[in-house]
Amino acid sequence: MAPGAASAPQAQPTVLALDISARGAAAQGFAGLVCAAVEAQAGPVRDPEGMRLAVHEAIANAVQHGCLELGSDMRQTRAGHEVFAAVMLDRMATPGYGDRRIQLSADWAGGVVSISVHDPGPGYHPSTLASRATAGAKSGRGLAIIRSLAHEVVVSPDGRCITMRFLR
């Protein structure tokens, strides 16, 4: 046995890891599949609907803002919404956007399940986003929803990775 190996603290293992393109992650019901896989291994969480929605929002952010580099500001009007949808469709099919990879990982220990979503996009400074969306705002609500559903949320300083913790 290597010196010190017996007493070295064991890092929390990542027990589920996925690497998927933006196109794959955008498939309908993908967040539900991820959460089902986690719950099949970790056992039930207290609020499965809440976890599914929070993971869905985190993946949608990683796809739209991270991989496709779409700002959400244009979704404030009907016309802007249509432009957003058209550009999204176009970028999804464009090499360098839709084939970018998102990494998901999950681990669980004690009373907590932790799920992280990491995208390769330009990132953002977490402090620039309000923790609660303005009433009536048609976009920019995803992170506020995640914060309301998860027990704890940590966004990496570069804005590319969100870790959500849920109670079991």
Which residues of this protein are in contact with other proteins, per CB under 8 A?
26, 28-29, 49-50, 53, 56-57, 60, 64, 75, 77-78, 81-82, 85, 88, 133, 135-139, 141-142, 145, 148
Q: In the bound complex, what is the minimum distance in angstroms from residue 39's beta carbon to other proteins?
A: 16
Q: Shortest Cβ distance from residue 144 to other proteins (Å)?
A: 8
The least distance separating other proteins from the CB of residue 86, rounded to whole angstroms, comes to 10
- The token duo for 27 is 């498939």
**Chain-centre distance for alpha carbon 139:** 16
> 132 vs 157, which CB is nearer to other proteins?
132
Smallest distance, other proteins to C-beta of residue 16, A? 22
- Quick one: CA torsion of 20, 23, 24, 26, rounded to 10 degrees? 110
- Residue number, 13 or 136, with CB nearest to other proteins: 136
Residue with tokens 């090499």: 95
Q: In the structure encoding, which two tokens stand for residue 25, read together?
A: 């992650």
CB 69 within 8 A of CB 122: yes
Alpha helices of the chain — where are they, by DSSP H?
Answer: 22-25, 30-42, 48-61, 78-92, 142-149
* Residues present in the chain in total: 168
User: Strand, helix or coil at 76?
Assistant: helix
Of the pair 138, 168, the CB lying nearest other proteins is at: 138
CB of 37 to other proteins, least distance (A): 18
Which residue, 112 or 137, is less far from other proteins as judged by CB? Answer: 137
Q: Based on CB atoms, which residue is closest to other proteins, 68 or 107?
A: 68
